[in-house]
Amino acid sequence: MSDSATEHLDSIRTSLVQRVLRVFALVGVFAWLPSVWVSLAAGMRLIAGFDTLVYLAVIALAVRPTAPTWLRGTVLVGVCHAIGLVMLLALGPFAIGLLWLMAAAILSAALLGRRATVLSLGVDVAILALASGVFEEEADPFAPLSSGAWGAFVANAVLLGTVCSTVVASAIGSLLTALERQRRALDELRTEADARRAAEEALRHAQRIEVIGLLAGGIAHDFNNLLLPIRVLTPGIRAALAPGSEAQEDVAIVDLAARKAEALAARLMELARRRDARVEEPVPLAPLVAEVCDLAGHSLPAGIPLDFRIAADAVVQGDRTELGQVLVNLVTNAGHAMRSRRGAVRVVLDRSEDGRAARLAVQDDGCGMDPGTVARMVEPFFTTKPPGEGTGLGMAMVDGIVRAHGGRLHVQSELGVGSTIVVELPILAGAG
């Protein structure tokens, strides 16, 4: 039984105990007054005192709902046993005492559970055995049963109580089963709804990326056409001007700006180009990581070391240049995040726990990112860098390259602590 079903059952039992106690307290007065009156008239003061004590105990429990449910239920069952015993001894086996004993077993099943029900039935048997011994010793005409008849009476009484208790216990078990099934069905519906929302959001995101990529490709193509005259004419203009003149330096600046614009257009075209199932050649990652880290370490801001560790080599299928570009972008971003902080950039090449994927992790001690930034970090043209320092295409290209190679990105980041970006790529089958 699940914790939620157990809690629900406890709440049901608590409510049931309170209701039974209130019924005992309100309706019990109509049984208590005549009982005390008859007992006092017959000189049975002990029974009158017992009835009063029991009734006061029930009232005390009814007005104090803070008492534990198991305690209140146990007192109720004990009251039924006690009243049944007194009734059997005072009025004989054909009086109301037997009904009180059955009520004790039924209340045990409803309020306390199976173990308490078995114990309650055992107490019923003991009470009936005690009553049978008393009646056999007394030559009372009100109890003319023989030993064999008393045995049959006890057996039938226990059978009746067991049947009633079993019915109640089975009803409670069926209720719990139905509640558990309903809870599981609700959990499945919630899971399906969450999965559907996530799939719809992923589809919308993919559609936005595709539209942006197509738009970027068109813009880059037109941009290249506009840059073509500048790139073609500036070398000739520069050569025609006097060497070292101010005009030649101005043309050189124009040529440099055109080259940068051309590079930006090339990145836009790369972003827009479809990369479905890009497979080119087996690429060992260990020498690639070592080579890129040796080069990228010199591009980091002064005072920021680049540490790399190759815990396990792996061979993947893909484009070596693109995979190197992924690592260069990640290391560059890590260094940018640490420009005003102390620490190091760490690169680790390892394998996943099941050995099926290579894991390339880039970790920094930089400023970190909030969840909103992490959610948007691979969107084209989204950047946290100041104007003029970033185009917002680096992480979009990283994500596109990784996906084209059948891999995925994992990002862990905390503001003020740093970020860890893990590239997971499938290892080439048969490559070890």
pLDDT score for 143 = 45
Angle at 146 between CA 140 and CA 152, to 5 degrees: 125
Pick the CATH number of 281-426 from 1.20.1730.10, 3.20.20.190, 3.30.565.10, 2.60.40.60: 3.30.565.10
Between the CA of residue 68 and those of 11, 12, 71, what are the distances in Å?
Answer: 12, 14, 5
Enter the tokens of residue 370.
């909030």
Enter the tokens of residue 166.
């079993």
141 or 89: which leads in pLDDT: 89
Torsion angle (degrees, nearest 10) of CA 63, 69, 74, 79:
20
Among residues 238, 270, 272, 233, the alpha carbon closest in space to that of 253 is found at 238
Cα–Cα distance for residue pair 432/428, rounded to 1 Å: 8
Least confident range from 169-173, 192-196, 354-358: namely: 169-173
Residue in this structure with the two tokens 């880290």, named with its chain if needed? 293
Per-residue pLDDT averaged across 33-48, rounded? 71
Find residue 429's DSSP bridge partners: none
Q: Domain segments of the chain: what residues? A: 3-189, 205-272, 281-426
**Cβ neighbours of residue 86 under 8 Å, at least 6 residues apart?**
47, 50, 97
The CB-side HSE value for 133 (13 A sphere, CA atoms) comes to: 6
The SS3 assignment for 341 reads: coil
86 or 359: which leads in pLDDT: 359
Task: Say yes or no to pLDDT of 232 above 90.
Answer: no
Per-residue pLDDT averaged across 132-147, rounded? 50
The helix (run of H) or strand (run of E) holding residue 425 is strand 418-426
34 burial class (0-12, 13-18, 19+ CB within 10 angstroms)?
Answer: exposed
Cα–Cα distance for residue pair 77/107, rounded to 1 Å: 6
Cα–Cα distance for residue pair 27/55, rounded to 1 Å: 11
Task: Say yes or no to pLDDT of 2 above 60.
Answer: no
Helical H segments across 92-146, by residue range = 97-111, 114-137
Per-residue pLDDT averaged across 127-140, rounded? 61
Least confident range from 94-98, 252-256, 345-349: namely: 94-98
Task: Say yes or no to pLDDT of 125 above 80.
Answer: no
Per-residue pLDDT averaged across 323-330, rounded? 87
| Verdict on whether the full-model pTM lies above 0.75 | no
Between the CA of residue 45 and those of 36, 82, 364, what are the distances in Å?
Answer: 8, 16, 87
pLDDT category of residue 90 using cuts at 50, 70 and 90: low
Among residues 432, 413, 425, the alpha carbon closest in space to that of 363 is found at 413
Between the CA of residue 418 and those of 254, 366, 409, 414, what are the distances in Å?
Answer: 39, 5, 17, 6
